[in-house]
């Protein structure tokens, strides 16, 4: 056996490399320009990917913050309904008089204390209410239940609120049901 059979011929390697070297030497300026263009394209893709990632991080953070703030929205609506029912119950009690039995006075005071406590708990948890009476009608905050002619109020003013505007951390939870003024009929 000869040792030459194990070694591949070395003549073929330089011949294959020669055409590649010629291509590189033929147009080095063109090759540099091509590489610079590829570099610019890669840099542009990288910057776009970085911007997209920054936008994704910001959007994800915003969505997580919103989920944290508003996850209890359905529960809050139900609690607000209970608060409004409590208020309606208190408002339905007869007007306070001097001849009122002590039991009725104590019940009224008890219910009013419960309402104050309940509203305080809601406010500490980001649920607020606003009485829109006297304010300009805002379709984003109010639900017009009726219109009423009035010479005393400018048109589009909330004359009466059947319920209050409720918000959860600044987001509308429940619009106020209101009566809106309109100009008196002429004639």
Instruction: Give the pair of three-digit tokens for residue 37.
Output: 């263009």
Digit-coded pLDDT (tens) for 16-39? 656 666 665 667 788 888 999 999
Query: Beta 127-130 vs 171-174: how paired, if at all?
Result: unpaired
Instruction: Give the pair of three-digit tokens for residue 120.
Output: 């305080």
Give the count of beta carbons closer than 10 Å to the beta carbon of residue 165.
24
Residue 54 clears pLDDT 90, i.e. is over it: yes
Digit-coded pLDDT (tens) for 95-127? 888 888 888 888 889 999 999 999 999 999 999
Instruction: Give the pair of three-digit tokens for residue 154.
Output: 């400018």
pLDDT value, residue 4: 52
Q: What is the mean pLDDT of the chain?
A: 87
Most confident of 8-12, 96-100, 127-131: 127-131
Separation between Cα atoms, residue 187 and residue 112, nearest integer Å: 47
Residue 60 clears pLDDT 70, i.e. is over it: yes
pLDDT value, residue 16: 60
Give the count of beta carbons closer than 10 Å to the beta carbon of residue 45.
10
Give pTM, 2 decimals: 0.61
Separation between Cα atoms, residue 78 and residue 166, nearest integer Å: 12
pLDDT > 70: percent of the chain: 86
pLDDT value, residue 94: 81
Residue 8 clears pLDDT 80, i.e. is over it: no
């Amino acid at each position: 056996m000869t040792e030459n059979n194990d070694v591949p011929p070395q003549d073929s390697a330089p011949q294959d490399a020669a055409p590649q070297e010629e291509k590189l030497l033929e147009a080095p300026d063109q090759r540099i320009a091509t590489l610079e263009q590829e570099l610019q394209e890669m840099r542009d893709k990288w910057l776009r990917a970085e911007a997209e990632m920054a936008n994704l991080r910001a959007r994800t953070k915003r969505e997580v913050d919103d989920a944290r703030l508003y996850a209890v929205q359905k529960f809050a609506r139900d609690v607000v309904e209970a608060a409004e029912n409590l208020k309606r119950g208190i408002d339905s009690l007869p007007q306070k008089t001097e001849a009122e039995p002590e039991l009725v006075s104590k019940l009224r005071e008890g219910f009013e204390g419960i309402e104050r406590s309940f509203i305080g708990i809601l406010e500490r948890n980001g649920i607020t209410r606003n009485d829109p009476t006297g304010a300009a009608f805002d379709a984003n905050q109010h639900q017009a239940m009726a219109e009423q002619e009035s010479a005393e109020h400018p048109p589009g003013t909330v004359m009466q609120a059947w319920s209050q505007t409720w918000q959860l951390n600044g987001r509308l939870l429940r619009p106020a049901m209101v009566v809106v003024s309109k100009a008196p009929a002429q004639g």
